Amino acid sequence: MVKVLISNRSYENLIFEFRGIKVMIDVDLASLYETETKRLKQQVKRNIDRFPKDFMFELNANEKEQLLALAPRLESLKHASVSPLVFTEQGVAMLSSVLSSKKAIQMNIEIMRAFAKYRALIMENSDFKKEISALDDKLNQAFKYLLQKIDALAPKYTKRKKIGYKRTA
């Protein structure tokens, strides 16, 4: 039994990105739902039709190593014979129908809010990036314009006498 205690309510820190998808790890979900990871996995396997590949998938060995590097608190998974299952937002929502306890439903609502907050944060950052990019383009145009004006003001030398020592052989 792998049980990880999650004391603070910062669920955004429990969201990872694998294969370009935001996911939560089975160990964290089991801890949040106050159940054993083994029981959570059993319920998922009993209801596997509810969890297509875009709702849940198993991490491969490389992804498992990445997870352990990102979250040292999951060190106990290092020697586990079974790879962790990860759940997308839809997969987490589906878990509430599989794990029908009051705690599971309550936690599911909070997790859905965390995913929504995470999405909002990403959208804010992308809007901010667009604004910075537009400002950067304007600055680049202004600098190009100034450099052209400075180049136009610089005197043009056509025939100049070479400066320096001349070699005599």
143 domain residue, yes or no: no
* Amino acid at position 70, single letter: L
72 domain residue, yes or no: yes
105 domain residue, yes or no: yes
6 domain residue, yes or no: no
Per-residue pLDDT of the chain (169 residues; tens, 9 = 90+): 333 334 344 666 788 889 988 899 999 888 888 888 898 999 999 999 999 999 999 999 899 988 888 888 888 888 888 889 999 988 888 887 788 777 777 777 877 787 788 778 777 777 777 887 787 888 778 778 777 777 777 777 667 777 888 787 6
134 domain residue, yes or no: no
Q: Which of 72, 79, 88 is nearest to 26 (CA)?
A: 88
71 domain residue, yes or no: yes
3 domain residue, yes or no: no
Q: Which of 42, 29, 38 is nearest to 96 (CA)?
A: 29
Cα–Cα dist 58/86, whole Å:
6
Structural domain including 79 reads 11-124
Residue with tokens 């600055």: 139
Q: Count of domains in the chain?
A: 1
164 domain residue, yes or no: no
pTM: 0.60
